[in-house]
């Protein structure tokens, strides 16, 4: 596959596999970076848009992990694409491999290659070998192929198991995960093939709680025979309190940050609000609260908190930039562009604001307006993959 990709990248000829298509991406791609994917879309006659909008005709779902955000919910682009499909939009959702097959970079045979034996799959996914074997026996995970007692798993299966394990360890609730997994089964046929019985997932996974006890993802405590004292200890289903032990501002703020890092976003948001109620307006707290609300897909509330942050500190560049991201998610593109331009007024060297502004202008077919921002980006970041994408956009605009 690498040879084919390199061959295609070195060829500036425009093909027609994606002629007339408006393509968005979601999730993490396995075989190439996002700028490389955007360039491939352009080379094959399509247009890359960073967000799913009304005229999007194709959404490509990366194969490197399940398209679930850090809060356990499906990605915004995926949910929006499904909504547009239900409204009758001519929009197709493709896996990464299906997309590469469509532009003839891989064959169906190549897309299913690369199976890992059970031990290697367990290591790559970060689970115990015996745990993965028990999932196979229970029918939770179906190997891509088996030979007697030997089982092999393809990359997509390994990536799915790994992502679920990461989310569980980050504290995403079982109810949230099971709901999201059922959504993915309904929306993405390839997910059903990867994990055919996702509705049983919660009954077979276990993780270590903060108090050291073993529990399944529904919160039910389990016997842990590795520690005799734990096995004989009385079982209680009470979870540790999420309230901070002290009420001073610094402790309250640190507790909110810890909750956010653990993925306990609703609790983190309430803790940030408690800080604001107790201590009064604070730009940094408003900013963190806004980021948390955005992760919870509460974009309107997030935007108001970003506005509060920049009212308190007008030169808060990161708040202006993230406000632009949230506005773009709501397709309020003019306001998003204004937010990014304001960020650049305070700091002309903000790479995030430069890239977001230029890419959004490019996606809106305002290529000439994007040119000075692409040029500035290349000057500040001449070597990265993002810079290579910017250079290609400049070449396209000047053609």
pLDDT computed for residue 192 by the predictor: 63
Please state, in angstroms and rounded to a whole number, the distance separating the CA atoms of residues 289 and 276: 10
Q: Where does the pLDDT of residue 150 fall: very low under 50, low under 70, confident under 90, or very high at 90 and above? A: low
pLDDT computed for residue 139 by the predictor: 65
φ/ψ of residue 150, rounded to 5: -90, 130
Q: Is the pLDDT of residue 292 over 80?
A: yes
Query: Do the Cβ atoms of 10 and 43 come closer than 8 Å?
Result: no
pLDDT computed for residue 225 by the predictor: 37
pLDDT computed for residue 314 by the predictor: 92
Distances (CA, A) of 249 to 273, 285, 291: 12, 11, 19
Q: Is the pLDDT of residue 100 over 70?
A: yes
- List all residues 6 or more positions away from 384 whose beta carbon is below 8 Å from its beta carbon: none
φ/ψ of residue 311, rounded to 5: -70, -35
φ/ψ of residue 116, rounded to 5: -110, 135
| 68 beta partners | 74
- Taken in order 100, 102, 106, 112, is the CA torsion positive or negative? positive
Going from the N-terminus, what domains does the chain have, and what CATH number goes with each?
A: 2-111 (3.40.50.10190), 116-232 (1.10.1660), 249-398 (1.25.40.10)
In this structure, of 157-161, 225-229, 242-246, the range with the lowest mean pLDDT score is 225-229
Q: Is the pLDDT of residue 343 over 80?
A: yes
pLDDT computed for residue 159 by the predictor: 78
Average pLDDT in the 19-29 region?
86
Please state, in angstroms and rounded to a whole number, the distance separating the CA atoms of residues 39 and 43: 6
HSE value, Cβ hemisphere, 13 Å, CA-based, for 68: 30
- List all residues 6 or more positions away from 86 whose beta carbon is below 8 Å from its beta carbon: none
252 or 308: whose pLDDT is higher? 308
177 or 278: whose pLDDT is higher? 278
Q: Where does the pLDDT of residue 352 fall: very low under 50, low under 70, confident under 90, or very high at 90 and above? A: confident
Average pLDDT in the 98-108 region?
74
Whether the predicted model's global pTM rises above the 0.85 cut = no
pLDDT computed for residue 138 by the predictor: 63
72: left (phi over 0), alpha (psi -120 to 50) or beta: left
Q: Where does the pLDDT of residue 178 fall: very low under 50, low under 70, confident under 90, or very high at 90 and above? A: confident
Look up residue 89 and give its two tokens. 């939009």
φ/ψ of residue 50, rounded to 5: -70, -20
52 or 57: whose pLDDT is higher? 57
In the chain, the percentage of residues whose pLDDT exceeds 90 is: 20
Please state, in angstroms and rounded to a whole number, the distance separating the CA atoms of residues 382 and 394: 13
35 or 336: whose pLDDT is higher? 336
Q: Where does the pLDDT of residue 398 fall: very low under 50, low under 70, confident under 90, or very high at 90 and above? A: very low
**Nearest CA to 67 among 172, 159, 201?**
159
pLDDT computed for residue 202 by the predictor: 47
Query: Do the Cβ atoms of 355 and 374 come closer than 8 Å?
Result: no
Number of Cβ within 10 Å of residue 12's Cβ equals: 8
DSSP for 260-301, please give it.
HHTT-HHHHHHHHHHHHHHH---HHHHHHHHHHHHHTT-HHH
Query: Do the Cβ atoms of 390 and 358 come closer than 8 Å?
Result: yes
Angle among Cα 42, 48, 51 to the nearest 5 degrees reads 175
pLDDT computed for residue 15 by the predictor: 65
Please state, in angstroms and rounded to a whole number, the distance separating the CA atoms of residues 141 and 202: 13
């Amino acid at each position: 596959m690498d040879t084919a990709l390199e061959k295609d990248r070195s060829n500036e000829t425009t093909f027609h596999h994606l002629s007339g298509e408006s393509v968005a991406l979601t999730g993490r791609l396995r075989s190439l970076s996002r700028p490389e994917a955007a360039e491939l879309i352009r080379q094959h006659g399509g247009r890359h848009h960073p967000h799913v909008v009304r005229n999007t005709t194709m959404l490509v779902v990366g194969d490197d992990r399940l398209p679930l955000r850090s809060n356990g919910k499906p990605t915004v682009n995926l949910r929006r694409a499904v909504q547009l499909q239900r409204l009758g939009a001519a929009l197709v959702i493709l896996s990464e491999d299906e997309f590469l097959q469509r532009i003839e970079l891989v064959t169906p045979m190549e897309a299913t290659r690369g199976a890992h034996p059970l031990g290697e799959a367990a290591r790559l996914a970060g689970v115990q070998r015996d745990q993965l074997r028990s999932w196979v026996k229970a029918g939770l995970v179906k190997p891509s192929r088996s030979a007697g007692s030997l089982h092999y798993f393809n990359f997509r299966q390994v990536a799915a198991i790994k992502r679920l394990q990461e989310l569980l360890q980050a504290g995403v609730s079982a109810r949230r995960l099971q709901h999201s997994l059922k959504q993915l089964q309904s929306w993405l046929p390839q997910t059903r093939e990867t994990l055919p019985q996702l509705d049983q997932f919660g009954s077979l996974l276990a993780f270590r709680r903060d108090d050291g006890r073993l529990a399944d993802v529904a919160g039910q405590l389990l016997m842990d025979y590795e520690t005799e004292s734990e096995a004989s200890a009385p079982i209680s289903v009470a979870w540790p309190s999420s309230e901070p032990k002290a009420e001073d501002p610094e402790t309250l703020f640190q507790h909110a940050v810890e909750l956010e890092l653990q993925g306990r976003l609703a609790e983190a948001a309430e803790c940030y609000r408690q800080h604001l109620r107790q201590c009064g307006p604070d730009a940094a707290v408003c900013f963190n609260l806004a980021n948390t609300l955005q992760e919870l897909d509460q974009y309107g509330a997030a935007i108001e908190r970003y506005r509060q942050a920049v009212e308190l500190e007008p030169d808060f560049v990161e708040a202006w930039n993230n406000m632009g991201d949230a506005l773009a998610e709501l397709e309020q593109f003019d306001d998003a562009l204004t937010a990014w331009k304001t960020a650049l007024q305070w700091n002309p060297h903000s790479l995030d604001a430069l890239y977001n502004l230029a890419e959004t202008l490019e996606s809106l077919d305002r290529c000439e307006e994007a040119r000075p921002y692409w040029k500035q980006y290349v000057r500040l970041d001449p070597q990265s993959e993002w810079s290579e994408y910017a250079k290609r956009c400049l070449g396209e605009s000047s053609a």
